[in-house]
């Protein structure tokens, strides 16, 4: 199945490998400033993807713990409580 899917022809009749090769050729032919803009945009999208993935993981855990639907006010109260506990430990008296 893996072999079949990797060899499957994509939109313009290219395999994935051919498509990557074509994209790479297009990218290296860009002007330096366009290339820079492209890398920045790729990094932005990649960062966005990663933070969404972290958020998804966090939300999944909260859902499993029955905590995801907690309202903002309750969350704020809990955060304030944690803040006070930590600060009281660090600055006793």
Partner 1 sequence: MSIRDDWIILDTNVWIFGLRRIPHLPACAELLQNLNQLRVVLPRQILQELQANLVDDELRALFRLLNRLPIAPKIDWQKAAPRIVAKYQRMGCKLGDAVVSAHAEEVGIKILVTENRDFLEELTGLPFRRLRASQAMAELRAANPR
Region binding partner 1 by CB under 8 A among candidate stretches 7-15, 19-27, 31-39, 54-62: 54-62
51 backbone dihedrals φ, ψ, rounded to 5°: -70, -35
Beta carbons within 10 angstroms of residue 28's beta carbon: 8
Residue closer to partner 1, measured from CB, 7 or 45: 45
- 87 token code pair: 């600060």
Taking the complex as a whole, how short is the minimal distance between the CB of residue 88 and partner 1, in angstroms? 6
Selection from 39, 37, 35 nearest residue 47 by Cα: 39
What is the chain's alpha carbon radius of gyration, rounded to the nearest angstrom?
24
Region binding partner 1 by CB under 8 A among candidate stretches 1-9, 13-21, 28-36, 82-90: 82-90
In the complex, the residues that contact partner 1 under the rule CB under 8 A are 43-44, 47-48, 50-51, 53-55, 57-59, 61-62, 68, 72, 75-76, 79-80, 82-84, 86-88, 90-91
């Amino acid at each position: 199945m893996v072999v079949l899917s990797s060899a499957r022809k994509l939109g313009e009749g290219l395999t994935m490998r051919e498509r990557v090769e074509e994209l790479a050729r297009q990218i290296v032919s860009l002007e330096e400033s366009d290339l820079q803009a492209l890398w920045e945009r790729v990094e932005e999208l990649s960062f966005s993807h990663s933070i969404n993935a972290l958020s998804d993981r966090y939300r999944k855990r909260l859902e499993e713990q029955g905590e995801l639907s907690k309202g903002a006010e309750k969350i704020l109260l809990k955060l304030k409580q944690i803040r006070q506990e930590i600060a009281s430990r660090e600055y006793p008296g």
